Amino acid sequence: VSVAMIALTLSVNISSIPASAYSATRTIDNDSIASGYGNTNGGNAYSYLKANSLYNGDARMVSSSKSSCYYYWKYPSMGANATSCRCTIKVYLNHANFTDPSAAYYVQLSNTQSNRVGYLNQEKAPAGWISVAKTLSPLPEGSYYTSKYAFVSPSGTKGKNTGADAIQVLLSS
């Protein structure tokens, strides 16, 4: 009986041990010069904007009608073996001219594709950090994900502007 009790206790304790989890965060400004970080202004479409309300006093902006112009934030690689990934993108929005009603935010999760995490209404967003999140399962390339960049895509709306300031990318599994 005591051997059976020890075996039962062992199986309960072993099965309740949580699997190893991975979590990493990258924060990057729109014009980062930190080692391993960078930005790409697709087609040089995003103009430079300076104001005290912006993260580190500056940002980038493009007409929202230019839906094929992307702004990329590049960062040191994050990745893990996993069956799913929770992607959270936090964006710093604090300028009256950021008015895109449906700016799309993407994160790279594999060597071959990026995944849309969600949309943000930049015009209605409260000033400061705002987030959008999505869990992806299954992952684009099976049981592993890797990420080196995120980007914003304008909605295509005429008469509005898409802002690109600081961004924070959190990946967890």
- With a CB cutoff of 8 Å and minimum separation 6, the contacts of 7 are none
pLDDT tens column, 122-149: 999 999 999 999 998 887 777 888 899 9
CA-to-CA separations, 94 to 1, 8, 12, 105, in angstroms, rounded: 67, 57, 51, 17
Residue 76 has pLDDT above 50, yes or no: yes
What does pLDDT average to over the chain? 88
Place of tokens 């929770």: 86
pTM of the model: 0.86
Residue 96 has pLDDT above 60, yes or no: yes
- With a CB cutoff of 8 Å and minimum separation 6, the contacts of 50 are 57, 58
